[in-house]
Amino acid sequence: MSDFGESIGTAIEGGLLGRTLDHDGGDAAGHHAGPVTCANCQTVFTGNFCPECGQQGHIHRSLAAIGHDIMHGVLHLDGKLWETLPLLAFKPGELTRRYIAGERAKFVSPMAMFLFTVFAMFAVFQMVGISAPTDLTEGFMEGAKSSSVVRTELQKEITGLQKERDGLAEGDPRRAEIANELAGLAKVLDAQPRGAVEVDTGDLNVTGTGIDFLDEGIVKKWQKNPSLMLYKLQSNGYKFSWLLIPLSLPFLWLIFAWRRQYKAYDHAIFITYSLSFMSLLFIVMSILSAVPGGGDWAAILFFIAGPLHLYKQLRHAYGLGRRSALWRFFVLLFFIQIVLVLFLQALLLLGAY
């Protein structure tokens, strides 16, 4: 499968996951003048959706309907997305406050928006060629000697995944995940030179952490095959991006600990919408960076739009004054660095085990 095809598939996967979390019966799907009989449960009703099972009252049977279902299921184009995106980009505090207050039907839920934007971000990364390098073995460390151990380790990884896939039933969602893993590992394997390297740890004099399971699971694996570990780091980056939400929650709670009107739920909504915007920002930046001379503009956009959006959301979502919002903003910037370090450590552990 080409990189373009994989990236499109990644975006669709994220859209469908987000759609699953954001499904409700509030979408217009045809209008009926009189009672209809549900084709699914035979309930007679008036309206657009069956009150018993939720199925649409009017069933389309055309190729155009298939296209509509794809666009609607993946992007949710008929209403919610276009209500949510402008507020998320330009009035994030208002969006956060209104959603927390109970104004839910017209907006894409935070988690659905987060899933869609994260998967779309990595899809765009694949389209524009932003990915971890697949050949870091030669020259990566001093003390390396020529060998085929890297290719052997990669082949073992592929064989193990193939055996796991063959033992799963048809239709098991894990099979699709394994297929993506195998495609990525195949690219890493193809990029390895035939005379790959093996690290002679006796000559490297690498200092471990002193914790046996970390030294065995992380340090030695990075020494032996940095290309594979970088691939796992990138792959796990979007699969476990949701970890940023629980990791960020205690820090945001801390700067509002004495304001009892704000609950953990409020902070979670704030974090999730904020991360969704950052994913959208990275999408725009990656597209700009692919344009000749656009790298500088992408950097300027990041350093202006990112902090400005965070400040506006913080101030208006919590109804803060300028001074109150400003000191929390700078403290939150410091906390963000801690969260990113914790997230990276979590990815390293997940990649090693």
Q: Are 76 and 22 in contact (CB under 8 A)?
A: yes
Phi, psi of 44 (to 5 degrees): -90, 125
The closest alpha carbon to 120, from 336, 229, 337, 278, belongs to 278
Per domain, the residue ranges of the chain are 26-65, 144-215, 241-352
User: Encoding tokens for residue 316?
Assistant: 């208006």
Distances (CA, A) of 107 to 12, 44, 78, 350: 20, 30, 11, 34
Q: What is the mean pLDDT of residues 275-298?
A: 90
For 16-20, 32-36, 44-48, 196-200, which range has the lowest pLDDT when averaged over its residues?
A: 196-200
- Is the pLDDT at 187 greater than 60? The verdict is yes
**Cβ-based neighbours of 299, under 8 Å, separated by 6 or more:** none
Q: What is the mean pLDDT of residues 80-98?
A: 91
How does residue 315 score in pLDDT terms, banded at 50, 70 and 90? very high
When the pLDDT of each residue in the chain is averaged and rounded to a whole number, the result is: 74
- Is the pLDDT at 253 greater than 90? The verdict is yes
Burial environment of residue 279 by CB neighbours within 10 A (0 to 12, 13 to 18, 19 or more)? buried
User: Encoding tokens for residue 344?
Assistant: 């990276």
Please state, for a pLDDT cut of 70, what percent of the chain lies above it: 61
Distance CA 269, CA 87 (A): 14
Task: Determine which helix (DSSP H) or strand (DSSP E) holds 37, and give its type and residue range.
Answer: strand 36-37
Distance CA 243, CA 339 (A): 10
pLDDT per position as a tens digit, 194-242: 444 444 444 434 444 455 555 555 556 655 656 666 666 667 777 788 8
Question: How many Cβ atoms are within 10 Å of 117's Cβ, its own excluded?
Answer: 25
What one-character-per-residue DSSP string does 214-282 give? Answer: HIIIIIHHHHH-HHHHHHHHHHHHHHTGGGHHHHHHHHHHHTTTT-TTS-HHHHHHHHHHHHHHHHHHH
* Four-point Cα dihedral 326, 327, 332, 338, nearest 10: 140
The closest alpha carbon to 204, from 223, 189, 222, 227, belongs to 223
Burial environment of residue 169 by CB neighbours within 10 A (0 to 12, 13 to 18, 19 or more)? exposed
Total-model pTM: 0.63
- Residue type for 40, please? N
**Residue 221 has what pLDDT?**
61
How does residue 148 score in pLDDT terms, banded at 50, 70 and 90? low
- Is the pLDDT at 92 greater than 90? The verdict is yes
